Amino acid sequence: MEVGCGTGLNFSMLERAVGTCGAIIGVDLTDGMLDQARRRVEREGWRNVQLVACDAARFQFPPQLGGILSTFALTLVPEYEGVIERGARALAPGRRWVVADLKVPEWPGARLCARALVPFYRPFAVTFDLAERHPWEAIARHMKNATVSPRFFGFAYVATGQA
């Protein structure tokens, strides 16, 4: 399943992972993104994708999920902690939450550099106050075997946790 699936850009990768017998649930808040995802699903002929129009903060995760992915979306949800907690409870034992998102690096001068970059990301709803949100910490609180791997000089990360 993908929280904040947007246009469905990750669906081809998810399709390879789950195969034709598996299922993909894509959740997104915006009709415009889901319309594009729907067109992608139809164009590719995928029959195992379900799209759900819902705020991630209110989504009711089905039980025994095989995995949850969120790329560059979860930081935009003010209630990300609850989303991660509910998702962690819904995962089948041993399955993973994976979050890839932006963050402010920890090296000296990074906050100043990040502030300078915010105008370039503003079309994607990125503001500097989002830097105070730390979904990787919620993954560590609600899951076991949590890891965080910095990417792109620390401006992005991949966090994982296991149910």
pLDDT digits (tens, 9 = 90+) for 30-59: 999 999 999 999 999 999 999 999 999 999
Residue keyed to tokens 């730390």: 134
Task: Count structural domains, the chain.
Answer: 1
Residue span of the structural domain in which 29 resides: 2-104+133-162
CA 56-60-130 angle, 5° bins = 20
Q: Is residue 152 part of a domain?
A: yes
- The CATH number covering residue 142 comes to 3.40.50.150
- The yes-or-no verdict on residue 63 having pLDDT over 60 is yes
Q: Is residue 121 part of a domain?
A: no
Q: Is residue 112 part of a domain?
A: no
Q: Is residue 98 part of a domain?
A: yes
**Element (H or E) spanning 22, and its range?**
none
Q: Is residue 74 part of a domain?
A: yes
Read off the DSSP letter of residue 54.
Answer: -
Burial class (CB in 10 A: 0-12, 13-18, 19+), 87: buried
Return mean pLDDT, the chain: 88
Instruction: Give the residue, 72 or 10, on which the prediction is more confident.
Output: 10
- The yes-or-no verdict on residue 124 having pLDDT over 80 is no
Rounded Cα distance, 69 and 74, in Å? 10
